[in-house]
């Protein structure tokens, strides 16, 4: 589905006309920050959440965005639509405190992500819906009636 354009975490739009053999600075930075660092470097602040992978499928009637995000609740997600920009984000915070007679241990955890996509004009924005089931967030982006593929029609010659 070439109409949806991924927007990197820094919010800048990727150039769809760029030569795919040359990485842009934003892709290079995304690669650096999404790479698995050795646990020695990240053990104090890594919560294990990475930028989730997205599958986008186009059918005759809709686009379907599936995102694998296990371990969350549907209330953890924020899905916003702002001028044809669909943004999916979550933010989780965790704080544990253990007290014993001789010590206090406090641990903090924080994880978040945000994925954004430019929607094509063919999407019926009023009919978008989402569901979260078995660790998969699915967003249905129905097409407008005039954008739906029409069945093949045989035209008789008179």
Domain count of the fold of the chain: 1
Q: In this predicted structure, what is the pLDDT of residue 137?
A: 95
Q: In this predicted structure, what is the pLDDT of residue 5?
A: 54
In a domain, 73, yes or no: yes
| 42: containing domain | 5-146
pLDDT beneath 50, residues of the chain: 1-2, 10-23, 37-47
Q: In this predicted structure, what is the pLDDT of residue 100?
A: 77
In a domain, 154, yes or no: no
In a domain, 138, yes or no: yes
In a domain, 106, yes or no: yes
In a domain, 155, yes or no: no
Which CATH number goes with the domain that contains 47? Answer: 2.60.40.790
CA dist 81 and 7 (Å) reads 14
Cα 127 to the center of its chain, rounded Å: 19
CA dist 32 and 8 (Å) reads 13
What pTM does this model have? 0.59
């Amino acid at each position: 589905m070439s109409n949806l354009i991924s927007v990197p975490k820094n919010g800048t739009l990727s150039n769809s006309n760029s030569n795919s053999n040359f990485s842009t600075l934003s892709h290079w930075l995304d690669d650096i920050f999404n790479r698995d660092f050795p646990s020695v470097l990240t053990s104090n602040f890594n919560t294990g959440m990475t930028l989730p992978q997205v599958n986008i499928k186009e059918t005759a009637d809709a686009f379907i965005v599936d995102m694998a995000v296990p371990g969350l609740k549907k209330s953890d997600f924020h899905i916003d639509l702002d001028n044809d920009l669909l943004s999916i984000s979550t933010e989780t915070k965790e704080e544990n405190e253990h007290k014993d007679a001789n010590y206090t241990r406090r641990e903090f955890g924080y994880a978040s992500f945000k994925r954004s996509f430019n929607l094509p004009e063919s999407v019926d924005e009023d009919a978008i819906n989402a569901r979260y089931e078995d660790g998969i967030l699915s967003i249905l982006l129905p097409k407008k009636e005039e954008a739906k593929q029409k069945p093949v029609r045989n035209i008789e010659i008179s």
